[in-house]
Structures are given as C-alpha cells and as structure tokens.
Amino acid sequence: MQKPAQLKIVNRFGVTRLLPLGKPVFTIGRKAENDLQLLSDSVSRQHAEIIYEEDAWYLVDIGSKRGTFVNDQRVERYALQHLDHIRIGGDEDQQITFLDDSVERASAIFDSAPRLTLTPPLPGRERVTSANEELQKLARFVEVNQAFKFSMTPDDVLCLIVDAAIEITQAERGFLMLRNAAGDLEFKVARDHNRSWLEGADFAMSRSVVEEAFKQNRSVIINDSSEAAAHFARESIRNLDLRSIACIPLRRFQMTENMDATTILKRDVIGVLYVDSHVIGGTISQTSIRLLESLAFEATKSLESVRLMHEEQEKKQIEQELGMARQVQVALSPTAFKVPDHFEIAAHNIPSRYVGGDFYDFIPLKDDRSAFVLGDVSGKGMAAALLAAMAQGALQAQFTSNLPLAEVVASLNKVLVQRSASNRFITLFCATLDPEGHFTYINAGHNLPILARTTGETETLTTKSVLLGAFDFVEYKPRQTRLAPGDVVVMYTDGVTEAVNADNQMFGDERLEELVKQSVSLSAEEIKLRILDDVLSFTAGLPQGDDITLIVLKVK
C-alpha cells in the first residue's frame, strides 16, 4: 500500500489547498489535464511527476525547460521528505509543500466526508491537554476544509466550531450568533453536548452576558463562584439557574500577509460564540478561555475564507457571462427614434459591473403618438439580459401593431408567467404621449416616476399594478394625466435612488424628487446631466451593484 501523502499548496492570497497523492503517477504542468495545473509561463506544459516507488514518493522532472527544485536545489529525480518545499520552474505564485501523512499522523481527518472527531471528555489536567490537541485538529481541519471549499458551507464550519467549544468547556449547550443586516444578533447555530441541534428560533440564555460581549467587544466568563456573577446576577443567570457561562466576541478578520491574531480589527464585532451550563463544578478554566478565543478566531477566519472562495467562484461565472450580456445590452438601446416636435427626451444607462436587467425604449406610434418603456428584470447576468431583450422585443412588436397600452402590458405579463423561471420578474413603467399632452401610463411594480410641473408641483406616477411575471389573473389598468408645455417626467430604475456612497447611505427618493423640482426649467438633456452629476458625485466613484438608468421627458 502507498504511504498516504499530500501536497499543501498556498497561493499568493494565502488560500491553502491540500491535494492528496492518491495515484501511482501524479502529474504537474501548465496543461489542464495535469493533476496539478500551474498557470505560470515558466512552467512547461508537462513539467514533472510525483511517482510512488519502493515505499517512497519521488519527484521526477520530465524534461521541463526551467527545471524542478526541492528546497531550492535543482533535481531530476528526488525522494520527497516530509515538509520538503517544491518549486516548479520559476513559479513563485504557489508555495508547494510535501506532507508525508505517516509523519503527520493526520490522515484520519482527511476522510472523504470531513468531520471533526473529538475525544470523549477527560477530567482535570488531561482535559486541557486534550483540548489543546483538539484545537490543533481543528486548525488542521480548517485547512483541510479549504480543500473541500465547494462542499462545505460556512454553516457547516460554524457548527463544528460550536461543537468544539462545547467540548473544550464541557458545557451543556453552545450557540453561535452573527450580526444581521439590521445590526441585531441572529442565531446561526444552537447545539447541545450530544452534538444535536437545539430546536427553536430563540433560546433562554443570558442576554446581558451576550450584550456585554457583543457591545463591549470583550470575552465574558462567569463561573458559579466568580465575582462577575454578582454583576449580572440581577437577571436571567439566576432565573435560568445557569452555573457557568462563557461568551466570546467574534471579530472581523482581515486577510493580510503573515497574519496573526494581532491583525484583527478589534472594533468590528460580527457576532458571538456562547456556551453555558447548569451543572455545578463545570468551571471554565483560563486555558479553556484561551482556547475559546482561538476558536472564535478560527470561526471568523474560516467564515471569511469560505466567503471569499464562494465570491471568487461566483465572480468567475459572472465575468464569463458578462461579455455576452454586454452584447445583448448594447443591442437593446433604443433604435433610431425620430423625436417629434412636441417633446424633448434624454436618456442614459450606466451598466453596473455585473450587467443588470435594465432596459428602455422609445417607440413611434400612429398619429404622432410615442411610447416610452422602462423596465428592470430581477437578477443579473446573462439570464436577466436575455429576458430584458425578450421583453423589449415583445413590447416593440405589440406597440407597433397598435394594441392599447393595457393589452400590451397584460400580454407581456402572460408570456412571462408562462415562460420565465419562478424567480424572474420585471418591473415596468410604460407610457404613451400624444401631441395634445395626454400621457397614459401603467406602472407595474416599478419605482415611481416623478412628474414635475412648471407650477412647482410634483407628483409620482403609480397605478398600483403588480410587477410582471407574478400572476396571470391580474389586470393592468392605465391612468391618464395631461402634461402642459414645460412639464417634466423623470423615469428611473432603482439603481438611481439606491446608489450608495462610501458610508452606505442611499441617494434616496426625496433627494431625487427635490432635484427634479429644482431643475424643471432646464432642458431634458440638462436635467439628465444634472441628476447623473449629482448621483455620481454622491457615490464618489464607488462601484455600484445595480444598473443606473434614467429617462427625462419634457413637453414643449
């Protein structure tokens, strides 16, 4: 049987992968079919192999151009030793280390289904030693976990952390809570000492201890005998009859080189790790506390790295779609539209990094009437861009065949309900204008356009209709208003009002409405530029998550 061994590969972002050497011949090179593919130019297409012969793993150079190195010595054929450092050609991007698992004695945790095996509780001092080992196992586990990045979710990792915390402190229960978008703590994991999930959404626990740890950003440890108990005694501890509690803040972790615990940004607490116990004598030792704090550190670290990896994967997929989606979007800009004499129109679209599903169109109708369309497909990427193209095409065809507005919208809705995935919707504002200023519109779940009159009044345009693609039984009833010369209608997508600045504040509806009100005497083009200027100076160059689309209509 082969001796178990693996390669540990750390890339320049500090992300660690472990590749087990399971085959008789393990290949390394620049081509994709290699077991380890390295993309550096200094790596040959088929560069080197690791083969198993006579109870040893050999690194063999298979005629590479730039050579193969072990501990900075060029080698042709070399019997690998535990912790040897391998360099392939001139590739410095990846740090490759050979790990002989018979030395590491760690192969046990490298199962196909990774699972942390913790030893049964031991009394007294032995427990501390055992906990130390457990922590090492855990640290190792986290490393292994990164190799399994796509099969482990952050939740799995958190669950393991809580189990280990219960184990270390000999507590009865453990919880992990994370801060949600509203800034409140939310239960993520609730486990008992048998490693079972606790049922429910809320649990009787010492709120004041949790608050203290979370708000003051410090570990709170309460033992039956400790003085701290008196400090908190007024509430739940006594009521709940809890004997010992430990609560450790989880702090935001920043990826930096040579990172260690001191690089944590102390002010940013993202959650807490909490364990408690009713049992007398379940005193939590100083060692346990230090271990808990290391665990909390591991928790945030693995959360962050799992999150980064998922993001990286998503980003790749999105970027592939991006090229195609952009082409679709370019094709979506309104076709040559000859603006009639009775109004001015100006429009602009700033696509976001991810290409959203905004679309707009102006369509000439019979009798000098014109139609205006502004829509936003939920979701991003190729699917959203294609659905936007489809919707725009359908609207064009129906308007051109002179159907009334209500029918145009209703038939698009029917098609969407039947054809599109259950989570794709379109919010749409759609209107027609005739030379007398009759402005007929339907607002199907879209942000409310602003009508600013020369008299200084403003109103928002709604028909309270449901967004498209949701229900086939709803009716779309238009409303009508009369626009006087000089009146302005500003249509926009949520990318405008939800544009955010570095302080995470939104541009907002009120701000837009006020701006339109003040700009009513300007031309359509000037109003458009003024709004865009204001949005762009508000965001100060911060990349936006959503498309920004704006149409300004002004009656002459």
Partner 1 sequence: MEIQIRTSGSVTILDLNGNLIIGRSEESLREAVKKLIDEERRFLLINLSDVPTIDSSGIGAMIKSFTSVKEANGKLKVMKPSRMARQLLSITGLLSVLETYEDETSAVSSF
- Three-state DSSP class for 497? helix
Rounded to a whole number of angstroms, the CA Rg of the chain reads: 31
* 425 interacts with partner 1 by CB under 8 A: yes
Out of 56, 139, 474, 532, name the contact with partner 1 by CB under 8 A.
474
Nearer to partner 1, 426 or 555 (CB): 426
Instruction: Work out how close the CB of 210 gets to partner 1 at its nearest, in angstroms, rounded to a whole number.
Output: 17
* 139 interacts with partner 1 by CB under 8 A: no
Region 248-277 residues binding partner 1, contact defined as CB under 8 A: none
Residue with tokens 């090229």: 323
* 27 interacts with partner 1 by CB under 8 A: no
- CA 237 to the chain's CA centroid: 37
Nearer to partner 1, 135 or 444 (CB): 444
Size of the site for partner 1 (CB under 8 A): 28
Instruction: Work out how close the CB of 189 gets to partner 1 at its nearest, in angstroms, rounded to a whole number.
Output: 13
Distance CA 357, CA 440 (A): 24
* 413 interacts with partner 1 by CB under 8 A: no
* 318 interacts with partner 1 by CB under 8 A: no
* 383 interacts with partner 1 by CB under 8 A: no
Q: What is the dihedral angle through the alpha carbons of 389, 374, 415, 411, rounded to the nearest 10 degrees?
A: -130
Residue 144, token pair as written in the block: 């292994």
* Segment lying near partner 1 (by CB under 8 A), choices 29-37, 176-184, 485-493, 540-548: 176-184
Nearer to partner 1, 375 or 445 (CB): 445
Nearer to partner 1, 73 or 423 (CB): 423
* 280 interacts with partner 1 by CB under 8 A: no
Out of 379, 435, 437, 508, name the contact with partner 1 by CB under 8 A.
379
Instruction: Work out how close the CB of 15 gets to partner 1 at its nearest, in angstroms, rounded to a whole number.
Output: 23
Out of 180, 254, 320, 505, name the contact with partner 1 by CB under 8 A.
180
Instruction: Work out how close the CB of 379 gets to partner 1 at its nearest, in angstroms, rounded to a whole number.
Output: 7
* 544 interacts with partner 1 by CB under 8 A: no
Interface mask toward partner 1 for 192-221; x: CB under 8 A:
--------xxx-------------------
* 422 interacts with partner 1 by CB under 8 A: yes
* 76 interacts with partner 1 by CB under 8 A: no
Instruction: Work out how close the CB of 276 gets to partner 1 at its nearest, in angstroms, rounded to a whole number.
Output: 21
* 228 interacts with partner 1 by CB under 8 A: no
Out of 89, 174, 445, 449, name the contact with partner 1 by CB under 8 A.
445
Pick from 38, 96, 54, 49: which is nearest to 71 by CA?
Answer: 96
Out of 94, 392, 440, 465, name the contact with partner 1 by CB under 8 A.
465
Pick from 207, 211, 2: which is nearest to 100 by CA?
Answer: 2
Q: Using alpha carbons only, give the angle 11, 17, 20 rounded to the nearest 5 degrees.
A: 135
* Segment lying near partner 1 (by CB under 8 A), choices 52-60, 85-93, 106-114, 442-450: 442-450
DSSP 509-539: HHHHHHHHHHTTTS-HHHHHHHHHHHHHHHH
* 297 interacts with partner 1 by CB under 8 A: no
Contact 154, 306 (CB under 8 A): yes
Instruction: Work out how close the CB of 221 gets to partner 1 at its nearest, in angstroms, rounded to a whole number.
Output: 29
DSSP 139-170: HHHHHHHHHTTTT--HHHHHHHHHHHHHHHHT
Q: Which residues of 21-42 are buried (b: 16+ CB within 10 A; e: fewer)?
A: beeeebbbbbeeebbbebeeeb
- Three-state DSSP class for 407? helix
Helix axes 381-400, 286-332, angle to 10 degrees: 30
* Segment lying near partner 1 (by CB under 8 A), choices 133-141, 161-169, 262-270, 467-475: 467-475
Tally of CB atoms within 10 A around 521: 11
Phi, psi of 373 (to 5 degrees): -130, 130
DSSP 293-309: HHHHHHHHHHHHHHHHH
Q: Contact residues for partner 1 (CB under 8 A)? A: 180-182, 186-187, 200-202, 378-379, 422-425, 427, 443-448, 464-467, 470-471, 474
